């Protein structure tokens, strides 16, 4: 998709679709367009065909202009960032339902921040354009979308300049989300730990300008064993698929600048191990690697945006299976940190791979560490499918992530990380148990991880409720790539 910005005369821009955000009272460009069309837009409003309410859309064909249309996009009541993003998403969806090849998006009627609004427009169109790349290839592919270019129209040259920045950034974030979605949607017999490792290596073999900034190394089980990653290896022990620790480095700043480290859980399929999950809905456990997929999505977006920041992505990638070598409830393992863990439930495996990855993250002397994981069903019970759960050992970092969530529309909600919850993890036979009982599951899971993050600023994003949707629209969402990219962009300055 090609995105451009223009402040030229609106009707002189060649396009077959024009997206016009407006309320019931026509203003500025909407009013001017209505006059040029002899009141065609206002007539639709008077007739009640279009009310202008938030996210409402109506396609009207321009009289005397064959194949050209205006998509009216309702904005009334869209006062919050989240509501404005919902409006833009509705406009992107409506646009892609038409046979349009070239479109113009009128940058009025919503936010006064042209850069932000243009960024969301580009992101929304990219994500709305996503089509699952079928594997195996013998499956009939969907027809590609016809839309090839979108021009964001701004009222002034200053707004146009800001919009260009926003379009470039938003398109990169959208592409990163789509990369994460594709990995998440692949079946687990294809998207194995080794497959993810190969995808991460491929990022470091792109165009020459990228190779200088991105490098990938993959640690084998033998190498992890030498590092005493007994906790991580206890999860992969039950699978014929070997586990990997994938380490990706993006260097956009001086080598001396401390990196932000992103740690993404990638359990490519989670049966629960010996603590076997119920069969209903188990197919969706292919999405248990969406934390790792989001790290790869962020790396894709960083390559496109060339942000001046150093980022390390660490992805512990395993499969959790129940064979004869599988870890059993009651087993005690030793983590890389030296802390011993009593495994009371093998279905609480994500924290077992993350704790060793978080210990490994300390080697990079990080500015900040953020882990991303589809960690607990409890977070869905608490927050539903709307927002990620967030816990942190640093108030400033927590506030920064909350702000990034609001700006990007990819929100998080902070939960407590108190000593009273940590006490639930006591074990008679090890330093810590891997579960804390039936209460406060999301919090006790984070308390477990906090034991391994004492030396740096750390936040945990539990995205079990937001990384994918179920039902007829089943599929990965690409979250939390937007919040992570917004945070990194704010850190880069």
Polymer length of the chain = 493
Largest Cα–Cα separation, the chain = 81
d(CA 334, CA 340): 4
Active site residue 213: no
Which 8-state DSSP code applies to residue 53?
Answer: B
Write out the DSSP string of 267-298: EEEE--TTSPPPSTTGGGGGGGGHHHHHHHHH
Catalytic residue among 351, 411, 489, 491: 351
d(CA 233, CA 228): 9
Active site residue 351: yes
d(CA 244, CA 322): 18
Q: Does residue 10 sit in helix, strand or coil? A: helix
Contact 27, 173 (CB under 8 A): no
Residue listed under structure tokens 């010996």: 274
d(CA 130, CA 132): 7
Catalytic residue among 86, 102, 165, 277: 277
d(CA 426, CA 106): 58
Smallest CA-to-CA distance from 129 within 171, 164, 86 is with 171
Element (H, E) at 84: helix 81-96
Q: Which two tokens stand for residue 278?
A: 């119920």
Burial readout 69-105 (b: 16 or more C-beta within 10 A, e: otherwise): bbbbbbbbebeebeebbbbbbbbbebbbeeebebbbb
Residue 58 β-bridge partners: 72
d(CA 45, CA 385): 35
The angle at the Cα of 260, spanning 255 to 266, to the nearest 5 degrees, equals 120
Contact 231, 352 (CB under 8 A): yes
d(CA 442, CA 393): 15
- Point out the residues that are catalytic: 277, 351
């Amino acid at each position: 998709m090609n995105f451009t910005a223009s402040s030229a005369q609106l009707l002189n821009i060649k396009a077959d679709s024009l997206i016009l955000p407006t309320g019931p009272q026509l203003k500025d460009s909407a009013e001017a367009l209505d006059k040029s069309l002899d009141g065609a837009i206002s007539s639709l409003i008077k007739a009640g065909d279009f009310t202008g309410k938030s996210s409402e859309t109506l396609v009207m064909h321009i009289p005397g202009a064959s194949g050209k249309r205006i998509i009216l996009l309702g904005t009334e009541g869209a006062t919050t960032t989240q509501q404005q993003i919902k409006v833009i998403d509705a406009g992107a969806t409506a646009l892609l339902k038409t046979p349009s090849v070239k479109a113009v998006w009128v940058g009025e009627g919503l936010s006064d921040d042209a850069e932000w609004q243009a960024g969301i427009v580009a992101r929304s169109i990219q994500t709305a354009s996503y089509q699952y790349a079928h594997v195996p290839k013998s499956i009939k592919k969907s027809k590609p979308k016809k839309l090839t270019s979108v021009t964001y129209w701004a009222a002034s040259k200053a707004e146009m300049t800001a919009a260009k920045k926003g379009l470039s950034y938003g398109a990169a974030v959208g592409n990163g989300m789509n990369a994460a979605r594709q990995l998440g949607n692949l079946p687990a017999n294809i998207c194995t730990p080794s497959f993810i490792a190969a995808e991460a290596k491929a990022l470091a073999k792109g165009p020459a300008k990228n190779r200088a900034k991105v490098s990938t190394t993959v640690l084998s089980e033998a190498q992890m064993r030498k590092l005493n990653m007994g906790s991580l290896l206890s999860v992969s022990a039950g699978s014929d698929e070997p586990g990997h620790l994938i380490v990706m480095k993006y260097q956009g700043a001086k080598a001396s600048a401390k990196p932000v480290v992103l740690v993404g859980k990638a359990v490519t399929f989670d049966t629960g191990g010996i603590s076997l999950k119920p069969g209903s809905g188990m197919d969706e456990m292919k999405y248990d690697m969406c934390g790792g997929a989001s790290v790869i999505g962020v790396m894709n977006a960083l390559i496109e945006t060339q942000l001046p920041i150093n980022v390390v992505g660490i992805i512990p990638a395993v499969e959790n299976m129940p064979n004869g070598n599988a870890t059993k409830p009651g087993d005690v393992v030793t983590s890389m940190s030296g802390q011993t863990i009593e495994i009371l439930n093998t279905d609480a495996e994500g924290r077992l791979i993350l704790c060793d990855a978080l210990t490994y993250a300390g080697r990079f002397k990080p500015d900040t560490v953020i882990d991303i994981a589809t960690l607990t069903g409890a977070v869905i019970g608490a927050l539903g499918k709307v927002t990620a759960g967030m816990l942190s050992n640093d108030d400033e970092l927590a506030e920064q992530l909350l702000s990034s969530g609001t700006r990007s529309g990819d929100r998080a909600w902070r939960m407590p990380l108190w000593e009273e919850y940590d006490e639930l993890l006591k074990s008679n036979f090890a330093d810590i148990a891997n579960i804390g009982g039936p209460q406060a599951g999301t919090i006790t899971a984070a308390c477990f991880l906090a034991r391994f993050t004492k030396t740096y600023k750390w936040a945990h994003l539990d995205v079990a409720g937001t990384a994918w949707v179920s039902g007829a629209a089943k599929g990965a969402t690409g979250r939390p790539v937007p919040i992570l990219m917004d945070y990194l962009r704010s850190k880069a300055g």
